[in-house]
Amino acid sequence: MNTSTATPLATNTPQAAAKGVEVIQLAEACGAEVRGIDMVNGVDEAGLAVLRDALNKHAVVLIRGQKLTPAQQTAFTKQLGEMRTSFYNRYGVPDHPELSIVSNIKREDGEALGIADAGMLWHTDASYLPTPDLYTLLYGITIPHRDGNAIGDTVFSSTGAAYDDLPADLRKRLDGMRAVHSFTHHLDKKKSLGQLKRAPLSAEQKAALPDVSHPVVRRHPNTGRACLFVTEGHTYYIEGLPEKESVELLEMLYAHIKNPQFHYRHTWQANDMLIWDNPALQHLAIFDYGDIPRRLHRAGILGPVPQPV
């Protein structure tokens, strides 16, 4: 359930120092809109402090009405941290390979313009890497509509709230556990579900993406909050458990994370900028638009090695 509640303004908050900037909470577990930010002309330090504070508190932040060129999106992203260029550079924005195209639109030669199957399974970005993404910035350009309503929503789930809601004995059981995340497993799973729409990986790409081990519960690098860190999209197995026990535990955790009480569901508008905190969230793209054109530009911020609680 979404709400719209203005964040109380204290005189010592970053928001108090940024004139004309307002933070509106959108849902209980995660999600907020920040108003009064202009990315086109660059965001000053006071505005950046508001955004970082909102990300720490709400995990996913919406900024509407940002008419950005790829160069402007890139410049703003670099204000938040070091960008990561995706290994899927065949889907990079022309002249801006650090931005990836997420789209179902096809080029004149019939090849996909962008990644057409991104987000079909719950995941956190780049968990299959030793240093997963800290932030993702997704900019809406072409938003599909049906019967006058925007479709192709993105749903977020707070992994901190999900962890807090687990029984104490299960939290204790998870302490110290590690799980393997695998991009090869991810593609195999998508293929088995009939979801795979992107070009296959080259041998060089596969060699550069070995499986990695991460804590099942990670400590958030900025807030210190304990967050579940297993995803149905990329987690292969839990180390040290028999296969059946690993599958059963993972499926239970996946189902728990999908509980709507932890969610914020975003309905896109053109020129929306959505910024989210990957350690604190998982997300899912809703593929209800078929061949109706959709295009977004994605940027990622390099994160640290996940640390256990």
Instruction: CATH number of the domain at 65, please.
Output: 3.60.130.10
Asked if residue 61 and residue 199 are part of one domain, the reply reads no
Q: Is the pLDDT of residue 256 over 70?
A: yes
**Chain mean pLDDT for the chain:** 90
pLDDT computed for residue 6 by the predictor? 42
Asked if residue 136 and residue 32 are part of one domain, the reply reads yes
Q: Is the pLDDT of residue 27 over 90?
A: yes
pLDDT computed for residue 8 by the predictor? 40
Among 219, 201, 212, CA closest to 88? 201
Given the residues 181, 266, 283, 295, the one annotated as active site: 283
For residue 125, indicate whether it is catalytic: yes
Asked if residue 215 and residue 85 are part of one domain, the reply reads no
Q: Is the pLDDT of residue 279 over 90?
A: yes
Please count the CA atoms within 13 angstroms of the CA of 261 that sit on its side-chain side: 8
Asked if residue 116 and residue 20 are part of one domain, the reply reads yes
Q: Is the pLDDT of residue 174 over 80?
A: yes
Domain that holds residue 235: 159-257
Q: Is the pLDDT of residue 211 over 50?
A: yes
Residue with the bigger pLDDT between 199 and 24: it is 24
Rounded Cα gap, residues 187 and 45, in angstroms? 40
Asked if residue 22 and residue 89 are part of one domain, the reply reads yes
Asked if residue 137 and residue 9 are part of one domain, the reply reads yes
For residue 256, indicate whether it is catalytic: no
Asked if residue 287 and residue 205 are part of one domain, the reply reads no
Asked if residue 144 and residue 6 are part of one domain, the reply reads yes
Q: Is the pLDDT of residue 40 over 80?
A: yes
Residue with the bigger pLDDT between 17 and 240: it is 240
Q: How confident is the model at residue 17 (pLDDT cuts 50, 70, 90)?
A: low
Let me know: does 128 contact 212? Beta carbons within 8 Å. Answer: yes
Domain count, the chain: 2
Please count the CA atoms within 13 angstroms of the CA of 38 that sit on its side-chain side: 4
Q: Is the pLDDT of residue 103 over 60?
A: yes
pLDDT, mean of residues 280-288 = 96
Is 50 strand, coil or helix?
helix
Q: How confident is the model at residue 132 (pLDDT cuts 50, 70, 90)?
A: very high
Asked if residue 152 and residue 276 are part of one domain, the reply reads yes
Q: Is the pLDDT of residue 199 over 70?
A: no
Q: Is the pLDDT of residue 241 over 80?
A: yes
pLDDT computed for residue 5 by the predictor? 44
Asked if residue 146 and residue 173 are part of one domain, the reply reads no
Question: Looking at the DSSP assignment, which residues form a beta bridge with residue 156?
Answer: 264, 283
Given the residues 125, 133, 272, 277, the one annotated as active site: 125
- Least confident range of 12-16, 163-167, 279-283: 12-16
Asked if residue 243 and residue 268 are part of one domain, the reply reads no
pLDDT, mean of residues 61-83 = 97
For residue 298, indicate whether it is catalytic: yes
Q: Is the pLDDT of residue 1 over 50?
A: no
Asked if residue 135 and residue 110 are part of one domain, the reply reads yes
For residue 147, indicate whether it is catalytic: no
Burial code of 194-213, b = ≥16 C-beta within 10 A, e = fewer?
A: eebebeebeeeeeeebeebe
Given the residues 58, 84, 123, 266, the one annotated as active site: 123
- Least confident range of 149-158, 184-193, 291-300: 184-193
pLDDT computed for residue 200 by the predictor? 66
Percentage above 70 pLDDT, the chain = 88
Q: How confident is the model at residue 111 (pLDDT cuts 50, 70, 90)?
A: confident
Q: Is the pLDDT of residue 192 over 80?
A: no
